[in-house]
Amino acid sequence: MSGGVRLDLDPKNGTTKKYDIERTENSTDGKVPEGYKSYKYAKQDSGSFILSAFLFKGNLLPGVLLYPISVTSVITYFKESKYGRLLLVDIAVSDGKHVYYLNPDTTARGVTFTEFAPTKKTSLETGELDHVLQNINTNNGFDIGKLITNYSTTAKKLFGDTDIIFDLSKTNDKYDSEVTTQSVSVIDYGIKVASTYPKVDHTPASQPFYAKGIKLPNGKYMKVKGGFPNEGFTGFNVYYKEDNKNVPLLIELKLKVLATDAGNSYIPGWYYIYKTDNANTWDIIKVTGTSIDNELPELLKKISTENNLEVEKLLPGVKDLEIDLTQTTNSNTGETKHYASGKTTVHYKQVSFNEYKAIRHASAFPSFTVNSIKTGSGGDITKGQLPPPGTLLSKLNAYYNDSSHSQLVLIELIGFHDPSLTNYPKYVYYYYNDGTKWVDYLLSTTVSSHAADMENVIKHVRANSGKIAPEKLGELKSKLTKYTPDKIEIESSKSGLTDITFDLSYKPKGNDGRSQATYQSGNTGIKVSSATNSSIPQYPRVKHDLSSSGAKSFTVGGIQLHDGQDMEVNGGLPKESMTNFFVYYSRENYEKYDDPLLITLTISNENADDSSYTSDRYLLVKSKDATKWDVYLARKFEENDENPDLTTILKNASDNGFNFDELDQEVKKKLIKYPLSRSRKSTLRQVLEGCGETGAAGGVGAEAYNFFFNPNKSATRQIIRLLTTLF
């Protein structure tokens, strides 16, 4: 078992059936509004299945499905002429309820779809569904204000009882939230941060509550880049510019802790929504595992004066933790200590359980994800054995036979859950050492039964000398099974990141509100920086860097231009693994970064045994008609200011689009149009001519030597690899 279905909602992924779940077109049931394409995912026997995550083109959809859920079907909706833009997802939950996820921004990727879970067991009728789809399609994303204005009845059907729209024009007393009429109290305690910035609390009558919208003092609805979060909250605070309560600067949303034994050891988690240079568009960041109280005066000043925020100072430390079991020291039960893991402080404390001494790692975080576990014995536990990427955990316990923590017996990873959803599925991952390696098991239980089942697992391990004995599991036999991660995801993690979408609307730090230096493609963080070294002075170069992910290579799934549109590439994007992604701009376009001239993709040569090997590159240039981009393969292409060919290409591209015919003959010889010819003969001739290894004395002998004794420098070997990708 693998801990629930991770469902890829891309209708072009080539798979119509997986995990016994079949994808079918949903256009024949009479319930799909005209002009939209719909797909249904369900088991052939109409039974239920456990859904744990949504993916799109292999990338995790962030902020949805925080914990596994039992469902009977999933239905997706796309605009008929734009299959690449997912508009809405409808989940039919096994208990009869429906959960809807609405795309808040169809011009961007990696956004958090807005969740609506109607309180009653009702679903949208065809006409109501049309209202919502029309709203998303017309406004380039879900617009709550316009749905309320135009279709108030549909809006009321979507909202749950504790869904709140906050009104920042209210600065005292109380008001009723739109749609649900939930009462919200407004309290001004007279608090001013740094004696300058007033703080006002908005407190809904029911908690936890869910923020579905914010109305600004000017009456317009706030647009949040990336979408509103779907978690439950217990606090909503607004910080204003000096005494002018018509100018909000920062909104603080306090996360509700869902773990059953939260106690006082958790550091509260917050979302911060902050103002940028656009009057109605705001940015958002999640901060957990740390407090920003000391930095708050400086942050408010920066937002007030520069309409910007240095988000790197606030980046959360709970994603892809590197847990190090060797860093713990002796402590008293309940005493909290910590160790450094990269830039993250990982707290831990000792607990006792069923005669074992246990250390609970990441004990200050309500939820987190794990990238690796350093055990100190039996090898480390890495992606091939860990829960799937992006899986939220609530606890990580290491069990020992001794109080000095030298005899590690068992590692336990507990999936994140909402304790109020007692019938929902819950997963716990176990690892024990068989003497040579770590063996992984998965406990499949429910929220209401997990405590008793987990206790029985520990008793079983205790009774079997620190191991799991399948033949002695008894009542646990149907619940505790060998963990089998998805092979596709394992292979992807081994070979590098796949289908990364690069977003050119993000700019190097220091330019404007969009220059946040980092952004996400699915679950992968990408840093944007000015690459001044080895760049042509007249053509500033920007690097989109994935090195923080730890992957050695990546494949490109798409490129989004500054205006939010997908780049159209003649012949499609190359599918090889790459190691670098650079974008060149003209000096006249510097600061704006809205008109790229050239994109270079360095082809991975990680298997090469010669450090002096010069990589091949793909060059992406805007075609002369300025509507699509062309791709050229450049063999052994140096990317620095000593390469006159690079300057020539950039100069050509800056003259109203790239024109291959106007290049010098010597430069033309080094560029091969992609996709390469389907004729093997012409492809071979082009590549050999491009690398200059035909017609030269001794060329065949040298090539034969390389083929057998230095294969990574062999042109023939590389041609074979290239032809393999084509045929």
Please write the tens of the pLDDT for every residue from 54-66: 988 777 888 899 8
Q: How far apart are CA 425 and CA 71, in angstroms?
A: 11
Evaluate if residue 572 carries a pLDDT over 70: yes
Rounded-to-integer distance, Cα 56 and Cα 8, Å:
5
Kindly state whether residue 172 falls inside one of the protein's structural domains.
yes
Question: Which of 283-292, 330-339, 446-455 holds the top average pLDDT?
Answer: 446-455
Domain count, the chain: 5
Taking a C-beta distance cutoff of 8 angstroms, is the pair 438, 378 a contact? Answer: yes
Percentage of the chain modeled with pLDDT above 70 = 81
Q: Is the pLDDT of residue 418 over 90?
A: no
Q: What is the mean pLDDT of residues 617-636?
A: 87
Residues 644, 599 within the same domain: yes
Are 718 and 660 in the same domain?
no
Q: Write the CB contacts of 15 (distance below 8 Å, at least 6 apart in sequence).
A: 8, 23
Residue 490 counted as domain residue: no
Question: Does residue 512 share a domain with residue 459?
Answer: no
Same structural domain, 448 and 593: no
Residue 110, both tokens? 């990696």
The neighbouring-strand residues paired with 49 are 71
Q: Are residues 356 and 472 in the same domain?
A: yes
Adjacent-strand bridge partners of 566: 560
Tell whether 286 and 170 lie within a shared domain. yes
Contact 212, 159 (CB under 8 A): yes
Domain annotation covers residue 128: yes
Which of 693, 332, 396, 389 lies closest to 549 in space, CA to CA?
Answer: 389
Three-state DSSP class for residue 156: helix
What pLDDT, in 10s, does the model give residues 271-309? 999 887 665 678 888 887 666 778 888 888 888 887 766
152 shares its domain with 251: no
Confirm if 98 and 123 have CB atoms less than 8 A apart.
yes
Among 484, 512, 547, which residue terminates a domain? Answer: 484
Rounded Cα distance between 579 and 558, Å, is 15
Q: Is residue 232 part of a domain?
A: yes
Contact indicator for 243, 198 with CB cutoff of 8 Å: yes
Q: Averaged over 691-715, what is the pLDDT?
A: 40
User: Helix or strand or coil: residue 490?
Assistant: helix
State whether 22 and 140 are in the same domain. yes
CA distance 649 to 539: 11
Q: Is residue 70's pLDDT more than 70?
A: yes
Could you tell me the residue range of the domain that residue 614 belongs to? 496-675
440, 463, 484 - which closes a domain: 484
Looking at 160, 188, 205, the residue that finishes a domain is 160
What is the model's pLDDT at position 463? 93
Q: What is the 3-state secondary structure (H, E, C) of 169-192?
A: CCCCEEEECCCCCCEEEEECCCCE
Helix 715-726 to helix 699-709 angle, to the nearest 10 degrees?
70
Indicate the average pLDDT of the chain.
Answer: 81
Question: How far is C-alpha 529 from the geometric centre of its chain's CA atoms?
Answer: 20
Are residues 537 and 622 both part of a single domain?
yes
Whether 322 is in a domain gets the answer: no
Better pLDDT: 151 or 110 = 151
Q: Are residues 94 and 177 in the same domain?
A: no
Q: Does 680 have pLDDT greater than 90?
A: no
> 510 falls in which pLDDT band (50, 70, 90)?
low
Q: Does residue 323 belong to any structural domain of this protein?
A: no
pLDDT above 90: residue 564: no
pLDDT at 457 over 90: yes
**Separation between Cα atoms, residue 601 and residue 543, nearest integer Å:** 11
- Quick one: 201 and 297 in the same domain? yes
In this prediction, residue 269 has a pLDDT band, given cuts at 50, 70 and 90, of confident
Instruction: Write down the H helix ranges in 382-537.
Output: 450-463, 487-495
231 and 343 co-located in one domain: no
Rounded CA-CA distance 525/550 in Å is 11
Least confident range of 118-132, 504-518, 535-549? 504-518
Q: What percent of the chain has pLDDT over 90?
A: 40
Query: Is the model more confident about 1 or about 227?
Result: 227
